[in-house]
Chain A
Amino acid sequence: MCSVMNQPISQHIFRAYDIRGLYNKDISPDVFYKIGLAAGTYVKHTMQGTHICVGGDIRQSSQSLAHAFIAGVTAIGVHVSYTGTTSFGQTLFTGGTLKSDLIAFVTASHLPPEWNGVKFYYGDGVGFPEEHLMKIRDLVLQDSFSLASWDHIGQMTPRDATTEYKKFFVSRFHFKKKLTVALDCGGASMTLSAPEIFTSLGFHVIPVYCDPDPTFSKRPSDPKPKNLTTLVETIQKHTCDFGVAFDGDGDRSVIVDNTGQILSADQTGIIIGTYGLKKNTGTIIANVECSKSVKEQLEPLGYNVKQIQVGHTFLTLEAKQTQALLGIESSGHLILPEYFLFDDALVVPLKIAQILDKVNRPLHDLVLETPSYPTKKEEIECADDIKFDVIRNLQQELSKEYEQVNTMDGVRVDFKDGWVLVRASNTSPIIRLTTEADTPVLLQELSTRFLEKTQKIIQQKKTMR
């Protein structure tokens, strides 16, 4: 009997933090079977482990892909706990409770519904670093696996932790007031957790796109401001205390205040840091893309704000090492390790609600307290084969030129009244330039200056090529 696999697997699906591709083009059950074999091999041989927790988001292709992945994992002789179709947080919670060696969640996060993929976490909630993911990639591409004998095949146990997961929140959050909250699940995976849990906690829930809709037909799964018009209108119409929108799998949430103002992740992080933590000492981590207001607002309170490189994997890893109280990724991943190390988007609105319950002021008041500086984000096209060289050159050049230069991820130059970050995208042929300054004039000046510097180096590299 012959094998059904003979198409080559595209290398491009393996990205810095996860595996992603278009279903039926780069991603298929056959490909996921191989990824399952590789993940099983990694757990068994590299980690000396025995067990993977597997779940999938609400995308229509997730179940097929999850089953193919499980077929691969069990063939290697590694056991599987299968959570089925859940929000990101519920599968991560289950894997943590079971002390799984690895957690695999089938999702393409906020991408359109025709995409799918998988991301890995360790059982303690720490994201899977790029170099480990590349080991999985290499195993897939080598395509040489040693299958278990019949009496060592992995077993699959279905594991529905819906009740335990809900109980966790009910035991950890208590509210005096009945807050009104608009929930925008975008028809995606959070429909399976958020409405039920918020209702159980006593909220008055105004649902926005809370019926499961694997085609994401009501709004795109990326909770960008332009996709949140219905949520904003709903908050205003129902005079909600606040609203929240989730992405496709439930690892990012966007908070909208009682007036309909959409908060950035930095603003949300600052409010949580200011009002929501038990003690005013310890570490708060923020990546290099975060606003300078994070440091400005939180350090005077007694926290040490630690800057880290971009990527939610580093966020979880750093949070574990520094025992941080809060982690902020400007892209919208926030972590509150008092609950979970991983970025379960559900804890963010619950923490906001806890603050509102305590401080007895409208959320918009708290938003007004957090200064917001003008920012500018630009993308510069730059071929994959030179983009990292360009950044290295910039690092050398700028380190000589300026005093406060941080090179942990790209190059960030800090001034007294602003900063600039230039970094290569891990996933596209792009260099990103982020600028923040106290005034629009300075913003423009900084942005133009560093844009020109970057473009000059790109030109040099191109001609050298």
Chain B
Amino acid sequence: MTRLFGTNGIRGVVNQDMNSSLALGVGQAWGTYLKRTVPHPTCAIGTDARLSNHMLKSAVTAGVLSTGCDMVDVGLVPTPTLQYAVKEKHFDAGIIITASHNPPQFNGIKGTAQDGTELTKDAEEAIEQIYFSKRFSHCNWSEVGTASTWAGAIDLYIEGILSQIDVPLIKKHRFHVVLDCGNGAGSLVAPMLLKKLGCTVTEMNCESDGTFPGRHSEPIPENLTALMKNVPEAHASFGVGLDGDADRAIFIDEHGSYIWGDRSLSLVGKYITKKRKEGVTVTPVTTSTCFEEVIRKNNGRVIYTKVGSPIVAAVMKQTHAVFGGEENGGLIFPEFQYCRDAAMSLATILEILATEQTPLSELIAEIPSYDMFKTKIPCPNEKKERVINLLEDDIKKHHEITHIDRTDGIKLYMKDSWVLMRPSGTEPIFRVYVEAKEKHHAEKIALFYKNLVDSLIQRA
């Protein structure tokens, strides 16, 4: 069976592989799936700022209604805003039309369960199976679902965030924030949130625009150069760049330096475990050791998972974790909701700065520093399993390995370093990640294991 869902929902180029016909079918499959467990489900739908949103939203809505589910349109919202609305307003499911940080010609369909968390693999597979078999449970004419709109999702979300943090304390500091929403859905929330927190806001790309005229939507360093320049020029406390659907936030310190996602993850993890003096945290195996170091210092514990935010969220829920997230700026605050949340990350960073009364650059400097190397090697999907087996045999000869972790691919721990080799879930590639205390050491290990994987792919 062809796959519909990738690691982050269904994605494709608009009016090519991502078109109304597909969306109409997905809507019918989704509704059919929901009706298996709830007799008369109500689903919420929202979109990011892309130009094809209305088209795909209409198609999905038509499909969902035809199965007898009701649909409530919450409008143009960040993904976490929809997720929060689903949880708080007790919808039976949430659907968001977004392609996150992808270029504007892409769009996608992503879903949440009843509690607002991202769909599990099982749920995705069930929907796919219905889609491909075309076994839609179309209802009788008199039971077709009703569509309505609800404009309260953004207010609900902002109020929710404000209830989680120390608002008077933050307000007292009158922070100055340079905010770059990348013309994405965050434009609808982040400026308003910052103003409610008493911040002076220098806005960049804060009008939602589906052509993304300001910058590319992924908050990687090359897309945030203007933001990095503006922060010191504006003498701001810090800068923040959001991705297209505002589930990820990347921070820029007061000097204009880009803060990698695992370092902001570590800073927040450190703060939360320090406050609680303990706690379980969850992150994928790809995250830097700096996270574990700061958590352990506060008597916390780190549980590693496979790559993918839905898994992180699911494990957090099972283990009653106090915090979790990914190294790409996707932070999860379980007391608020079990999903990546850029606005909540932003509010928390403000609270940390207000509590610690120390500039962001200095707080980040306190996080231990490692050098990481990432590379990818082409590998046909059908060879992936064989390569893993060959790797397992081969590493038995490597005496420097202290511990082997099989959570996702193969992760080898050595003294002061680790290497992770994992086949991609979506692309025909093998990824190799290496982290070490020193740069030349990391490079050396990376080269060795890249060559090893390369030769095993040849042999497989």
Contact = CB atoms under 8 A, between A and B. Distances in A.
B377 interface: no
Contact of B144 (A60, A72, A148, A150): A60
A156 B23 CA distance: 16
B54 A147 contact: no
Interface in A1-19: 1-5
Interface stretch (B55-63, B182-190, B218-226, B326-334): B55-63
Contacts of B2: 1-2
A61 interface: yes
Interface stretch (A25-33, A234-242, A287-295): A25-33
Interface residues of A, number: 42
B357 to A, nearest CB: 47
Contacts of B15: 75, 147-150, 153
Interface stretch (B134-142, B162-170, B194-202, B401-409): B134-142
B21 A33 contact: yes
A151 B62 contact: no
B369 interface: no
B22 A74 contact: no
Interface stretch (B77-85, B145-153, B272-280): B145-153
B51 interface: yes
Contacts of A165: none
Most buried by B among A1, A66, A70, A151: A1
Interface in A151-208: 151, 153-156, 158
A29 B66 contact: yes
B128 to A, nearest CB: 10
Interface in A26-64: 28-30, 32-33, 59-61, 63-64
Given A33-B62, A153-B14, A147 B19 contact: yes
A29 B105 contact: no
Contact of B55 (A4, A71, A158): A71
A427 interface: no
Contacts of A156: 54-55, 57-58
Contacts of B141: 23-24, 59-61, 113-114, 116
A28 B140 CA distance: 11
Contact of B62 (A32, A113, A158): A32
Interface in A312-369: none
Given A1-B4, A150-B52, A153-B52, A60 B62 contact: no
A68 B12 contact: no
A33 B17 contact: no
A423 interface: no
Interface string B106-133: 1100000000000000000000000110
Interface string B32-62: 0000000000000000000110111111011
A67 B12 CA distance: 21
A32 B21 CA distance: 11
A388 B394 CA distance: 85
Contact of A64 (B23, B62, B149): B62
A153 B56 CA distance: 10
Contacts of A155: 51, 54
Contacts of B28: 4, 29
B134 to A, nearest CB: 7
Interface string A106-126: 000000011010000000000
Interface residues of B, number: 46
B143 interface: yes
A129 interface: no
A461 B454 CA distance: 82
Contacts of A2: 2, 132
B25 interface: yes
A64 B134 CA distance: 18
Given A1-B4, A23-B141, A28-B138, A64 B65 contact: yes
A63 B62 CA distance: 7
A364 to B, nearest CB: 39
B144 to A, nearest CB: 5
Given A32-B62, A61-B144, A4 B22 contact: yes
Interface string B8-31: 000011110101111111001000
A286 interface: no
A65 B142 contact: no
Nearest to B146: A63
A215 B143 CA distance: 10
Interface string A62-90: 01111110111011000010000000000
Contact of B17 (A1, A24, A66, A67): A1
B422 to A, nearest CB: 26
Contacts of A4: 21-22, 24-25, 28, 131, 134
A166 to B, nearest CB: 20
Contacts of B107: 150
A270 B208 CA distance: 56
A64 B21 contact: no
A374 interface: no
Contacts of B4: 1
Most buried by A among B28, B56, B65, B131: B65
B33 to A, nearest CB: 15
A138 to B, nearest CB: 20
A243 B24 CA distance: 44
A155 B145 CA distance: 23
A23 B62 CA distance: 14
Contact of A63 (B20, B132, B144): B144
A214 interface: yes
B107 to A, nearest CB: 8
Most buried by A among B2, B13, B15, B20: B20
8 contacts: A1-B4, A1-B12, A23-B141, A24-B141, A61-B144, A67-B58, A155-B54, A156-B55
Q: What 8 A-B pairs are tightest by C-beta distance, nearest first?
A: A4-B25, A71-B59, A68-B62, A64-B65, A156-B54, A67-B62, A150-B14, A74-B55
Interface of B: 2, 4, 12-15, 17, 19-25, 28, 51-52, 54-59, 61-63, 65-66, 104-107, 131-132, 134, 138, 140-147, 149, 211
Given A74-B58, A80-B54, A156-B57, 13 more contacts: A3-B22, A28-B66, A29-B63, A63-B145, A67-B65, A71-B55, A71-B56, A71-B58, A74-B20, A75-B55, A149-B15, A151-B105, A153-B14
Interface of A: 1-5, 23-24, 28-30, 32-33, 59-61, 63-68, 70-72, 74-75, 80, 113-114, 116, 147-151, 153-156, 158, 214-215
